[in-house]
Amino acid sequence: MKDNKGNALLFILLFILSVLYLIPILIVFINSFKGRLYISDQPFALPNAETFYGLKNYTIGLAKTGFFKAAFWSFFITVLSVGVIVICTSMTGWFITRVRNRVNNFLYYAFVFSMIVPFQMVMYTMTKIANMLNLDNPVGIAVIYLGFGAGQSVFLFSGFVKSIPVELEEAAMIDGCNPVKTFFWVVFPVLKPIAITVAILNAMWIWNDYLLPYLVIGAEYKTIPIAIQYLKTGYGGIDMGAMMAMLVLAIIPIIVFYLACQRYIIEGVIAGAVKG
Amino acid sequence: MHNRHMSRYFFVFVFPTLLAFLLSFVIPFILGIVLSFTDFTSIIDAKWVGISNYIEAFSNKDFLNALRFTVKIAIVTVITVNFFAMCLALLLTRKIRGTNVFRAIFFMPNLIGGIVLGYIWQLIINGVLYKFGVTLTYKPEYGFWGLVILMNWQMIGYMMVIYIAAIQSIPNTLIEAAKIDGASPFQILTRIKLPIIMPSITICLFLTMANSFKNFDSNLALTAGAPSRKTAMLALDIYNTFYNTLNGEGVGQAKAVVFFIIVAVIAFLQLKLTRRKEVDNV
């Protein structure tokens, strides 16, 4: 009885906290319907007859940033890069775990080492190399993401492969499957849980990444974060109304993605953190 | 047999990843270290200058300020994020209705990218400060606390999720036994729960620290270093040195190497600490 009362109080406390937690997003949403001049002054006021701006912020913002194009490139780059990363690093992770020799051991440690290197360390040189090799386009950038994301992904796949029995693969090979067939028909289906984790971790990183795409392809192709930052640095000073509208549009796909695969996202993040 | 037959497939399985890894990590990394000892404006015109870039980096006011600023942010963020995350995790592992919904809400900001986070909080904080007639970039302290609040909002849910998983893995019998022996809830927390989840606490402390040190996006969006580069963290200062300073490339690369060493030392400490804990547990 007493416990129930305590839990009811806790429930109310948590409810208030979670509402407070969501308020920043709600305020951005409300302000996206207010005129640009009324946002900095009174961000916490609801729109009224004078300040209500309808969808004008949205139309202005869309025109200024080319948001839909940016959303397309964000989507294109994320899907392509994540696909390439999952296929290539799962193959590599499996191979260097199963075939133990000095080269593969060395590679494993090189991949693990790359996980701790911050982006700024290779920012300049990598951008130059990408430029020299004509990788500075939405397809080529997938190669960059594969190289820079390989560390964690190979590490996660490799750790998972260690925990699965080798007998199944050996049976397949004895039955005459070559390693490529064995990998795709026998091994990869078993790797599915960790492949989902790797896909989600990389998708979150690449979708939200700003600096790498800005430096490599930003001059020609804008992704969503680049388009939003461009609102501030672009011509004519910052239009807070358009900014609010674009923030709302940037958050919507993330919330949809989150609602659709919340369980996988949270599990993936735990797996990535605890093992990585 | 298995091994030798498979080795021939190295090219198929490893080469694509390895090539990309060489091009976008290994070569840029080695080149980066070499270039930090040279003067250059493009890779081909590098001239050897010894350690003068490093000397210049460490006598650079902006860099020293960014270093101090980043360390301060990291310390405050590590403490606050983990404290609040642990409190929420302890609340959400009691049997309360709607735990899953609460957990999902607190985790959500973690999915939003740093640029978007920066502009959300710029609006909110400027809105509050407007009542006092100032803005976020009026004093470095405002930017400091703004970043701390932003990073708390971003990371609390993430760490909370890891703590919840750890707390839920504690065997219930252990806690029941302690209750029968007359342990108070506080004793159960400090003598049983916290020691058992210590490995997770170590992981979260280091994760928060590494994330704080490497922060760039939300720093750029929230204050972009204003006023006068006083709120620029290390990553932003390195960026500014490369791209917003005349002939800054050499010094920028030296700063980047120092930054890498700091992050590597943090990661190395984490590895040593978590390894030791694992041995202790066995």
B114 and B212, same domain (yes or no): yes
Structurally, chain A folds into a number of domains equal to 2
A49 and A78, same domain (yes or no): no
At residue B4, the pLDDT reads 64
- Establish if A185 belongs to a structural domain: yes
B237 and B188, same domain (yes or no): yes
With a cut of 90, say whether residue A2 has pLDDT above it: no
At residue A215, the pLDDT reads 96
Q: Which percentage of chain A shows pLDDT scores above 70?
A: 97
B85 and B173, same domain (yes or no): yes
**Are A147 and B25 a contacting pair at CB < 8 A?**
yes
B23 and B146, same domain (yes or no): no
**Best of B13, B168, B257 to disrupt the A interface by mutation (most A CBs within 10 Å)?**
B13
Q: How far is B31 from chain A (nearest CA, A)?
A: 7
- Establish if B49 belongs to a structural domain: no
**Tokens 């490093």 found at:** B54
Answer yes or no: are the C-beta atoms of B65 and B225 closer than 8 Å.
Answer: no
A105 and A200, same domain (yes or no): yes
Long-range contact set of residues B53-62: C-beta below 8 Å, sequence gap at least 24: B53/B250, B53/B251, B53/B253, B53/B254, B54/B254, B54/B257, B54/B258, B56/B251, B56/B254, B57/B251, B57/B254, B57/B255, B57/B258, B60/B241, B60/B251, B60/B255, B62/B229, B62/B232, B62/B237, B62/B240, B62/B241
d(CA B87, CA B42): 51
| CATH of residue B267 | 1.10.3720.10
**Are A89 and B17 a contacting pair at CB < 8 A?**
yes
At residue A233, the pLDDT reads 75
Structurally, chain B folds into a number of domains equal to 2
B143 and B276, same domain (yes or no): yes
Q: Give the total residue count for chain B.
A: 282
**Are B9 and A144 a contacting pair at CB < 8 A?**
no
B15 and B68, same domain (yes or no): no
**A184-235 pLDDT per residue, tens:** 999 999 999 999 999 999 999 999 999 999 999 998 999 999 999 998 876 6
B25 and B144, same domain (yes or no): no
**B130-154 pLDDT per residue, tens:** 989 898 989 999 999 999 999 999 9
pLDDT band of A45, cuts 50, 70, 90: confident
Give the residue numbers spanning the domain of A39.
2-53
C-alpha distances (whole Å) from B18 to each of A143, A159, B202, B248 are 11, 18, 32, 32
**B22-55 pLDDT per residue, tens:** 999 999 999 999 999 999 888 778 889 999 999 9
- Establish if A254 belongs to a structural domain: no
At residue A73, the pLDDT reads 97
Answer yes or no: are the C-beta atoms of B193 and B246 closer than 8 Å.
Answer: no
- Establish if B30 belongs to a structural domain: yes
- Establish if B41 belongs to a structural domain: no
Give the residue numbers spanning the domain of B87.
57-281
At residue A47, the pLDDT reads 87
With a cut of 50, say whether residue A1 has pLDDT above it: no
Q: Picking from B19-23, B84-88, B134-138, B277-281, which range would have the lowest pLDDT averaged per residue?
A: B277-281
At residue B1, the pLDDT reads 40
**Are B17 and A92 a contacting pair at CB < 8 A?**
yes
B25 and B119, same domain (yes or no): no
Average pLDDT, chain A: 91
A80 and A26, same domain (yes or no): no
B156 and B266, same domain (yes or no): yes
Name chain A contacts of B259, Cβ cutoff 8 Å: 118, 120-121
Q: How far is B220 from chain A (nearest CA, A)?
A: 9
A147 and A191, same domain (yes or no): yes
Residues whose CB is less than 8 angstroms from the CB of residue A219 and which lie 6 or more positions away in sequence, other chains included: none
**Best of A80, A120, A136 to disrupt the B interface by mutation (most B CBs within 10 Å)?**
A120
B138 and B248, same domain (yes or no): yes
Q: Which percentage of chain B shows pLDDT scores above 90?
A: 78
**Rounded to 5 degrees, what angle do the CA atoms A183, A189, A194 make?**
100
B142 and B11, same domain (yes or no): no
ipTM: 0.92
Residues whose CB is less than 8 angstroms from the CB of residue A271 and which lie 6 or more positions away in sequence, other chains included: A156, A194, A197
Q: DSSP label at B186?
A: H
**A99-146 pLDDT per residue, tens:** 989 999 999 999 999 999 999 999 999 999 999 999 999 999 999 999
d(CA B262, CA B239): 17
**Are B102 and A24 a contacting pair at CB < 8 A?**
no
At residue B279, the pLDDT reads 45
- How many beta carbons lie within 10 A of that of residue A202, not counting itself? 25
**Are A170 and B2 a contacting pair at CB < 8 A?**
yes
- How many beta carbons lie within 10 A of that of residue A200, not counting itself? 21
With a cut of 70, say whether residue B280 has pLDDT above it: no
**Best of B123, B208, B218 to disrupt the A interface by mutation (most A CBs within 10 Å)?**
B123
A110 and A24, same domain (yes or no): no
Average pLDDT over residues A89-97: 96
Residues 115-144 of A with CB under 8 A from B: 115-126, 128-130, 133, 135, 143-144
